Structures are given as C-alpha cells and as structure tokens.
Amino acid sequence: MASQRNKLELHGEANIPSGGILIIANRLAFQDLLHLEKLLSGRRLVFLIDSSLDYDPLLQAHLEKEDTHALEFSSDEGSKAHFKKELHQYLSEGSAVVFVPGLAHTRNGQVMSIPSEILKFLTSSGAPILPLFVDHPEESALGVETRSEIERVVLSFGEPLQREAANLANFTENLLIAAETAFAARPILKSHLAYEILRGLKKNSRSSEIIDGLDGSKLRFDKLLAAAIVLSKVIRKETEKRRVGIILPPGKGGILSNLAVLLAGKIPVNLNFTAGEKAIASCIAQAEMDKFITADPFVRKMTTFSWPPNKQLILLDRILPGLKSRIGLWLVLSKIFSAGMLASLLKIPKKGGSEEAVLLFTSGSSGEPKGVVLSHRNLLANVNQFGARIDLKSTDRVLGCLPLFHSFGSTVTMWYPMIEGVSVVTYPSPLEVAKLAELIEEHSVGLLLATPTFLRGYLRKATKEQLASVKMVITGAEKLPKKVAENFEERFGKPVLEGYGLTETSPVTNVNLPDVPGPAGSRGPVLPNHRFGSVGLFIPGVAVRITDPDTQEPLSLHTSGMIWLRGSNIFEGYLNQAEKTASVMKNGWFMTGDIGRMDEDGFLYIEGRLSRFSKIGGEMVPHETVEDLINKALGTGEDERRIAIVGVPDEAKGEALILLSSNPDIDLTELRTKLTGDGIPALWIPKKIVDVPEIPILASGKLDIKGCEDLAKASE
C-alpha cells in the first residue's frame, strides 16, 4: 500500500481557486485525503461531515484529531440552516471546505459514491464549488495491466462553479469531464490492441477457450494464439493492402481470422454479409481491400451474397489443415517466450494509440454505410470501461452470437474476452434461439447479450431451466419495450438490463446493472445501478453534454436535448469523409444524433434518435413514442414488431406521419378515434396506414429506418 499512497497523479490543479471554496469529491479514502491535505497545505482546511453516514475507521480517527477543523450537518431542516450559515462564514474567511463522503455500497467502476439528495443539498447551498474526481485505477484495470501501470491515486479537478452556476446538473457535468480527463491519461491507452490481446491470451492460455456451438469443438486460448500467429504469416504474404476483409459469422474461424489480421499488422474489416449488394460494394470500395478471409462451407451457404472473385478469397478450411505442424511449433514457442519477446519476434508494436486498429461500417439503417475508424486507444478504452462495470470472473462465460460486423459483437464478444480471459460460447446466428438456449444451459453461460428483437425469441422458445445460469441479460441497439422486459423477468426470473452505445463510441457508453445489496447492519446507502426506462449510468471515462437540437446552445443535463459525448472510446472519424466527421465532432465532443436527458442519479434516458423525430407544425414528434401509444391503443403485444412510424414531407405542416403495418386488421378511422379519446394530439396521429408484409429489420435486430422510408415513399 505504501507505493500506492506515495504515487499521485494530478489533473486540473490550476482550477483550484485561492479564495474560499467548497470541494466535493466523488469519493475520499484515507490516502486520498492525505494527498489533498498536502496539496492544499498552507490553507485552512475544514472537513464537512454528514453525521447520518458511517466512515472508514482510519478516516474517522483522522477527522477526530484535535487540530482538525470539522463541520457536521444532518438531514433535519434546523441543522441544515445552521450549517449553511457556518459554511459561508468559513468560505468568507478563504477556507477550503472539503466534503468527506461516507461509506456507500457501489458497484465496481461506479463514478459517484454520494447519494443524489446529499449532492443536491450541497450544490444548492449557495457556495462556490470545485468538483474533484478521485480515481484508483487498480479497481477498474484490465487483468493484463501491471502494478506499475495502475498503482496510484488520481486527483482530477474540474472547473470551479460560481454561486449562480452551482447546481447538481452543472456539478455532475463538470465532474464527468474531470473523470474523463483522468481516464484519458491511463498508460494502457497508448498501447497496441494486438499486444494487449497477446498478453491476455498468454495469461489465460489454459483457463479460457472458445466453444463453438455449431460443432461443439473447443479452442483453448494457447492454441488460438498459435494458430493466429501462423495464419498471420500467410495473411502478410497474401495481402498487399493494409485492410483485410473478413466475411464470417461468429465462431472460431471469425475470431481466429480477426486476431490473425491484427498480428499480421493489418486492419480487420468485418463485412455485413446480410447487407444489400450496393452496400457491400460501397464498403469494399471505401476500405480498399484486396483479400477476404472466409470458409468454403460459408461461401456455399451464402448463395445470394455477391462474393468477390475466388482469387481474392483466403479460405480457412483449405489453408489451416496444411499448417498443423507449424501451429504445433508455435504452440511450444508461445509457451516458452514471454509476451514481450513474442511481440518482438512477430514485429507487433507495443504502441498503437490513435492509429487505426479496426474498421467497422455503420449498419446503414439511415443511409449509405459509413466507415468508422476505431483506434487501438478507442478499443482498449472500451474493453476497460465496459469490463470494469460488468466485472466478470474468469469462470464466467459469454454467449457470442451477435455478428462480428456489429460493434457490440466485435468489442464485447471478441476483443474483450481475449484480453480479459473470459470464455466465449459462439454460434453463427442470434436468430436460432432454441439452439442458443440449449447452449446457454449446456455451457452455463453467465452473460447474455441480445437486442429486444432477439429477446422476443427467447420468450417464445426458451425455458426457465435453460437460462438458469445467466447472471446478466444486457440489451441494446434499440429501445427496450416495457412489456418485453416485464414478460422476460416474469418468465425467467432475470431482469433485462438496457445499455446504450454507438459504432462511433466503440460501442458501449452506458449500461444498467444489478444493484448491490448492502451488508446487514450497515448504515451506508446503496447507490442505484439500475433504473428501468433508462439506458443506465455512464461507464468510467465518458463525459456528457446536452444542447438544444436546433441552436446547439448548452442545456442542463436534466433537460431533454441533443446528447454529446467525450471519451477515449470516441472514434477517430469516418473513413475518407472529413466533412461528415466535422459535422459530428466539435472540439473533441461527439454529437450522437440521439435526444435524451439525465436524471439526478446519473441515469441517461434516450427519448429518440433525431432521425426518428418529425417536425410537424413546429413541434418535435418522437416516432417511438407514437408507436408505443398506437400499440397501447390497439392492445397489441410487443412479442414482435408489427408497426413502424415514418415521417414524410408534407406541404402544409412540414412533415406528416405514415404508419407501416404488417397487421392488415388496423382501421385508420378506428385508430384515430382511440388515439383522440386517449388525449393524443392530432399532429401525432398518422396520416395514413401502409400495409406491408413485414417491418424491415437489420441483421443486428435494429429497425431498418432506410428500408421503412423506402416502403413509405413507394406508397406515395
């Protein structure tokens, strides 16, 4: 512990004002307080203590020392009024008043350890406030990081908030910016993705594996590494371009190919084999690739796919059998040599930072696919951020059935398990739910990742016994309908935890998680980690701002508006599209295109994608809300998507709503009557209904917005 106490990393020290200030930190352990005292030596320090909370005994003893100035407050109104008077007296004398948070029950990687009601009271006290983010990197580090990389205390000061600007929303915004600054300085973010995977595979060589659900075969991490090393040499020899295409579903072959491309010093590009011919041609042209890794059986299966010429294909099933002896040799060598020596032998750099590591294409749900350049820094950050929050053990297993061309499937079920040593049970399709449920039961899968569309399949085809081993069900990509969540929890006894992310954010930024129960007899508050309707708390190292969607003027975090994010996981830009990049990136902040707000406990609520709003008569009308109201009015279930709202140009009102429906029994006149009777404004009621065979859905489970718009236009 001595080395940890003595190592201090500072950010924003220049933000500490010389006058009286109230310092509010997200947490303060004993050694943190010692660092802060030393930093503020020469000034009068007053410690602010909440008498309703428990404190660590060491910290308590320090606060009770004779030469310590302490100011207590409690929750009763009389105490609060007296406290404010004393606080302002200390501040007028130029004192630094430090609020010392008490013990609280939080999950790993949780930014805040102070209940919101206390924060609200402190930030409304009329005092100038200095936000302080305190971090102990070893608590949220990757398993591959060494003690020298993580053993330190980090103090990151935000910008001081003057009396009129001091409120809970501004404090939260500035604290998250200070937290992002601290996270961005982590040494591992300068590293190379291939090097960290090498370290992870070495560390967990015999304890973790890929289990292929298609044929039941297993590939231990040491054998995966050896095979990838040998395949990487073939790729180096066969390819001239810097990017290599991969056309494979989730499985041993897909993961092996991605790793081999990285080890070859190339950039993997997983192509969406379910996309249309034009979209695929666009991706290939944009990425400038000359070779594509796939397998013969998959080529034969995907007869409708526009395959590149045979001479451009690297077929795994034809190449790997002839490499067995070389793989055996490298299996021995990889056990003898350290990760550092292997990296030198294979010419794998130890530094990657902001260089392109992976190229993913957006789903094209609202237009032509855009190439999203993700750097080594982006992916290592997100693996760390997401991993810190879900905190899986080495004995846990993840179900890997989401496509590798999908950002969640790529980061969370491929890069994350290889670095952190978590076994993956793979299957080529998220749609074959009956088979997936069998695999979950057979291999005791602990983490299930799915979209709401795929969860509906489990409700139809899985039993409670099959999902007994699942510890967490995390969903994203589209809004989680309340009925789906309720039915899933009722049937399987598992709450559905909604998260949020975008391809451009590598992808995870928010996630709901199970609350941590407080130990019996403890007075410490239990800080929430889950709130239905929200997409959860922010992962470590992500800052947020809200602006007016039209003017981009700043708004309070607690007001609905355009969501902007900043963090090490934010992408480097769109491939060869400087103008599009500039349109969404401003001074390091990324405009998500989503409308939402944050509540007082830090939970983010997504109220719709800007592309899923229509401006009708000057009013912003959210398509998803209208869909919910229509489902409610019709009394239809949410076991499958039967309707979708689309906005179309309208001369009189700017836009009008069209209802796409795969249910031919909906009568527009009856629907209007029901919606009007429910008090729904006339602007929110669809102009007409267009009957369609089915609602277009992408392979990721998301609504195909462009497909819906095409159907609406075709009906005009």
- CA 109 – CA 355 distance, rounded (Å): 27
- In degrees rounded to 5, what are phi and psi of residue 701? 100, -5
Give the tens place of pLDDT for each residue, 217-269.
999 999 999 999 999 999 999 999 999 999 999 999 999 999 999 999 999 99
- CA 141 – CA 381 distance, rounded (Å): 10
- For the chain, give the mean pLDDT: 91
Give the tens place of pLDDT for each residue, 376-423.
999 999 999 999 999 888 889 999 999 999 899 999 999 999 999 999
Q: Which residues of 474-489 are buried (b: 16+ CB within 10 A; e: fewer)?
A: bbbbbbbbebbbebbe
Q: Which residue has the higher pLDDT, 76 or 597?
A: 597
Q: 78: pLDDT confidence band, cut at 50, 70 and 90? A: low
Whole-number percent of the chain with pLDDT over 90: 67
List the single range of 144-158, 439-453, 459-473, 627-641 with lowest mean pLDDT: 627-641
The domain segmentation of the chain, as residue ranges, is 2-184, 193-511, 617-714
- CA 416 – CA 197 distance, rounded (Å): 9
- In degrees rounded to 5, what are phi and psi of residue 374? -105, 130
193-511: CATH topology is Rossmann fold (3.40.50)
Predicted local confidence at residue 1, as pLDDT: 39
CATH dotted code for 617-714? 3.30.300.30
Q: Which residue has the higher pLDDT, 58 or 624?
A: 58
> Considering the entire predicted model, what is its pTM?
0.89
- CA 412 – CA 408 distance, rounded (Å): 5
Residues 356, 378 contacting (CB under 8 angstroms): no
CA distances in angstroms from 509 to 260, 313, 499, 563, listed in the order given: 28, 36, 8, 12
Whole-number percent of the chain with pLDDT over 70: 95
